[in-house]
């Protein structure tokens, strides 16, 4: 499972790249630049749910991390997934003409990337996100959690925000907000989508409407100022005239279908073999159709999500 999940995380990088709202990325860029100019020492970034490191690579590629030194702590509770960060980041750096790599993720000094005027030290940490944040209060200039709040649970949001220094910036992109669609239409789509969302809601910390809930929570939270919110929908479709999907996005789609199979299958099994008018056989037939459409380059997948950026009270 770990190898396939790492491959999924790599494959979804291009999907996320298209989805992320660039206006809010610009807000994050401005905030980090202001923070770097106003503080001594390296900029301190904490990413929770870091996976294989695609976000730090993106922030460097897109010029979001300011010139100078950045200490980037990449936390993920799955040590095996996080172990894929160094191979991914070394491969990414090898594709840049201006990037040099030194050190190691396992060494005390971390993995150091020098790219142009930027020197970024990445320190992977296998730990529970809220527990790590609670052990390092007020240390981070920026907190990033992509595709996180729909699985983490809002009772753990306050400890995460507590990791920020006064005036620090939080950025929660790709926060699921209750929309899943597959095309072409299938008679069982709506029933299967409802069961898929129900499974999310029944998991500890899960919330199929996390985007809207996070928006309300961050607007109302004491000591928090929401600076921006925007849609960041995933849209995966065949590449025009090429008969397939961009990059490894077929891998991404197959993983999504595997996730639906597991989630909906668990709900149906718990209900004795059929619920909401959908049986195990119906699910199998739906999956066979959808997997065939991925193979033929016909499936379109859409998911509604939100990006949120804000600051905690204090200086810049």
**Nearest-angstrom CA–CA distance, 174 and 171:** 10
Quote the pTM value.
Answer: 0.96
C-beta neighbour count of 181 within 10 angstroms: 15
Residue 10 in tokens? 């790599």
228-248 pLDDT per residue, tens: 999 999 999 998 766 689 999
**Nearest-angstrom CA–CA distance, 117 and 69:** 9
Measuring CA to CA, which residue among 297, 299, 183, 246 is closest to residue 18?
A: 246
Mean of the pLDDT values across residues 291-310? 97
184-200 pLDDT per residue, tens: 999 999 999 999 999 99
pLDDT of residue 241: 63
DSSP H stretches of helix in the chain: 2-11, 13-19, 22-38, 54-61, 79-82, 85-94, 129-135, 149-152, 157-161, 189-202, 210-220, 249-270, 280-296
Contacts of 315 (CB under 8 A, 6+ apart): 38, 166, 167
Helix (H) and strand (E) counts in the chain: 13, 12
Give the H or E element holding residue 179. strand 164-183
Looking at the predicted structure, is the pLDDT value of residue 180 above 90?
yes
Measured torsion, CA atoms of residues 234, 49, 153, 45, in degrees rounded to the nearest 10? -110
pLDDT of residue 242: 63
pLDDT of residue 275: 85
Q: How confident is the model at residue 115 (pLDDT cuts 50, 70, 90)?
A: confident
Average pLDDT, the chain: 94
Question: Alpha carbon of 198 to those of 70, 88, 152: distances in Å?
Answer: 40, 34, 16
Contacts of 176 (CB under 8 A, 6+ apart): 147, 150, 200, 207, 208, 210, 211, 303, 304, 305
Q: Would you say 189 and 282 are in contact if contact means Cβ atoms under 8 Å apart?
A: no
C-beta neighbour count of 133 within 10 angstroms: 25
75-92 pLDDT per residue, tens: 999 999 999 999 999 999
pLDDT of residue 81: 95
């Amino acid at each position: 499972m770990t190898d396939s999940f790492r491959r999924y995380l790599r494959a979804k990088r291009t999907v996320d790249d298209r989805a992320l709202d660039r206006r809010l990325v610009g807000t994050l860029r401005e905030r980090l630049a202001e923070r770097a100019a106003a503080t001594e020492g390296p900029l301190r970034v904490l990413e929770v749910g870091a996976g294989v490191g695609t976000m730090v690579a993106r922030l460097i590629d897109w010029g979001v991390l300011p010139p100078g030194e950045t200490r980037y702590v990449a936390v993920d509770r799955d040590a095996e997934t996080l172990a894929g960060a160094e191979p991914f980041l070394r491969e990414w750096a090898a594709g840049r003409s201006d990037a040099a790599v030194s050190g190691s993720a396992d060494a005390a000094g971390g993995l150091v990337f020098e790219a142009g005027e930027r020197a970024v030290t990445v320190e992977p940490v296998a730990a529970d996100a809220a527990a790590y944040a609670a052990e390092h209060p007020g240390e981070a200039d920026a907190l990033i959690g992509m595709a996180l709040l729909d699985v983490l649970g809002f009772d753990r949001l306050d400890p995460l925000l507590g990791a920020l220094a006064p005036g620090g910036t939080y950025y929660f992109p790709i926060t699921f907000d209750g929309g899943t669609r597959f095309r072409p239409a299938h008679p069982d789509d709506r029933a299967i989508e409802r069961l898929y969302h129900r499974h999310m809601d029944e998991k500890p910390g899960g919330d199929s409407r996390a985007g809207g809930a996070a928006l309300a929570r961050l607007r109302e939270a004491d000591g928090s100022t929401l600076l921006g919110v925007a849609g960041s929908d995933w849209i995966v479709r065949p590449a025009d005239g090429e008969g397939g999907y961009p990059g490894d996005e077929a891998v991404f789609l197959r993983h999504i279908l595997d996730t639906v199979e597991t989630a909906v299958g668990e709900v149906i099994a718990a209900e004795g073999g059929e619920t909401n008018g959908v049986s195990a056989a119906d699910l199998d037939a739906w999956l066979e159709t959808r997997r065939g459409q991925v193979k033929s380059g016909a499936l379109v997948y859409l998911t509604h999500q939100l990006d949120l950026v804000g600051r905690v009270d204090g200086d810049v």
